Amino acid sequence: METMFSALMQFQLSQAIMILIGIILIWLAIAKRYEPALLLPIGFGTIMTNIPLSAAIGEQGPLTIIFNFGIQTELFPLLIFIAIGAMIDFSPLLQSPFMLLFGAAAQFGIFATILLAAALGFPIKEAAAIGIIGAADGPTSIYVANRFAPNLLGPISVAAYSYMALVPIIQPPVIRLLTTPKERKIRMDYQHGEVSRTVLIIFPIAITLVAGILVPAALPLIGFLMFGNLLRECGVLQSLSKSAQNELGNIVTILLGIAIATRMEGQYFLRKETLFIMLLGLLAFVFDTVGGVLFAKFLNLFRKEKINPMIGACGISAFPMSARVVHQMGQKEDPFNFLLMPAVSINVGGQIASVIAGGIILALLA
């Protein structure tokens, strides 16, 4: 009987709080559908991690083994990039290549947040790991955090995926604050044209070569993303492309989420740093949105054919959520304003830009 109740006798308040947080994450995943593929495994793993004397963690614990195998080696984030690459159609971006500039402009939030985190007293590598939340790219956030701040991996992962799910709540008020009703009603002509299969095949190879030469530290991230896209576009590996999008993406996502929970122990998570990380992560998303919208407004100073500034907000990597949000905002202002395709062009460009931004940070601080 003593053995049966030994775990109950050793319960600490921090563990009870973390179990409650795990239940809240599960509720958000199921009831609110906030990134359920990640938040549900993280939430359930948090419960297992914080039960006293849990055999799920520790040197021989299965969650620890999964963590060491997939996250400490950085394998899981890279495999997810294969799945993401296989899902993305870069045709809209290739039809309007200049849209890639918006992806670069929207990374402003990353570097602004790094400076702010450093000013708050975080060591520069921890500040970089926090700032990368602004990439709105969960795998990149995990990859950089594992390199620079493994002790902060839990809160950084939760912040990154939570705010990605909250894009429809975070972005609209920021966009409305920075734009006028007249600007939000600007219509954009979309010149639909076919992108040849040859171009679609060359694109992931070319991006890998250029990004790898210019930013070698980004090569694992951009290379796996583009490899997944090449599976999609080559035309001879449809079964592998579908497997990457479905089976590979789903299995790795489950394992990634439940493994991250090993860094959700109360003694590490329930600190003031966690609150700062959540607040800074939110600011990173806001700054990214601001950077993209203001860049569009800046370009309009020189363009005869005006850009709807709202599409600049799609430069973050939250694909395709951000594009849908901007399109819906445009429809509310003018039911005949169709912004989806230019917004998607910028959104996929943001995916590339966020990966390269992560590589630049790794290169600068390695």
The tokens describing 349, both together, are: 């460009």
Structure tokens at 188: 């954009």
**137, 113 in Cβ contact below 8 A?**
no
The CB density around residue 195, as the number of other CB atoms within 10 Å, is 16
Cis ω for the linkage preceding 168 (within 30 of 0):
no
152 vs 158: CA distance, rounded Å: 10
Distance CA 289, CA 152 (A): 25
pLDDT at 322: 86
pTM of the model: 0.85
Domain extent at residue 63: 11-365
Is 161 inside a domain boundary? yes
pLDDT value of residue 229: 94
């030469």: which residue's tokens? 213
Any domain includes 1: no
Examine residue 6 and state whether it is found in any structural domain, yes or no.
no
Q: Which residues, in sequence order, are CB contacts of 146 under 8 Å at separation 6+?
A: 71, 72, 74, 77, 153
- Res 193: pLDDT: 64
For residue 188, being part of any structural domain is answered with yes
- CA–CA separation, 207 vs 224, rounded Å? 11
Please give, one letter per residue, the 3-state secondary structure of the chain: CCCCCHHHHCCCHHHHHHHHHHHHHHHHHHHCCCCHHHHHHHHHHHHHHCCCCCCCCCCCCHHHHHHHHHCCCCHHHHHHHHHHHHHCCCHHHHHCHHHHHHHHHCCHHHHHHHHHHHHCCCCHHHHHHHHHHHHCCHHHHHHHHHHHCHHHHHHHHHHHHHHHHCHHHHHHHHHHHHCCHHHHCCCCCCCCCCCCHHHHHHHHHHHHHHHHHHCHHHHHHHHHHHHHHHHHHCCCCHHHHHHHHHHHHHHHHHHHHHHHHHHCCHHHHCCHHHHHHHHHHHHHHHHHHHHHHHHHHHHHCCCCCCCCHHHHHHHCCCCCHHHHHHHHHHHHHCCCCCCHHHHHHHHHHHHHHHHHHHHHHHHHHC
Give the residue among 78, 104, 64 at the shortest CA–CA distance from 228: 78
**Which pLDDT belongs to residue 217?**
83
* Cβ-proximal residues to 223 (8 Å cutoff; 6+ apart), any chain: 208, 212
Here the tokens at position 233 are 């576009």
Split into its structural domains, the chain has a count of 1
Look at residue 1 in the predicted model and tell me its pLDDT: 46
Q: How far is CA 125 from CA 109, 275, 359, in A?
A: 16, 18, 14
- pLDDT value at position 6? 66
Each residue's pLDDT expressed in tens, for the chain with a length of 366 residues: 445 566 667 778 888 999 999 999 999 889 988 878 888 999 999 999 998 888 888 888 899 999 999 888 889 989 999 999 999 888 888 887 878 888 888 888 888 899 999 998 899 999 999 998 887 778 888 888 888 988 888 888 888 887 777 788 888 999 999 999 898 888 887 666 678 889 999 999 999 999 889 888 888 889 999 999 999 999 888 999 999 999 999 999 999 889 888 888 887 788 888 888 889 988 988 998 999 899 999 998 888 888 899 998 888 877 778 888 888 898 888 888 888 888 888 888 888 888 888 888 888 887
**Cβ–Cβ under 8 Å, residues 229 and 86:** yes
5 within a domain of the structure (yes/no): no
Q: Which of 35, 32, 114 is nearest to 288 (CA)?
A: 114
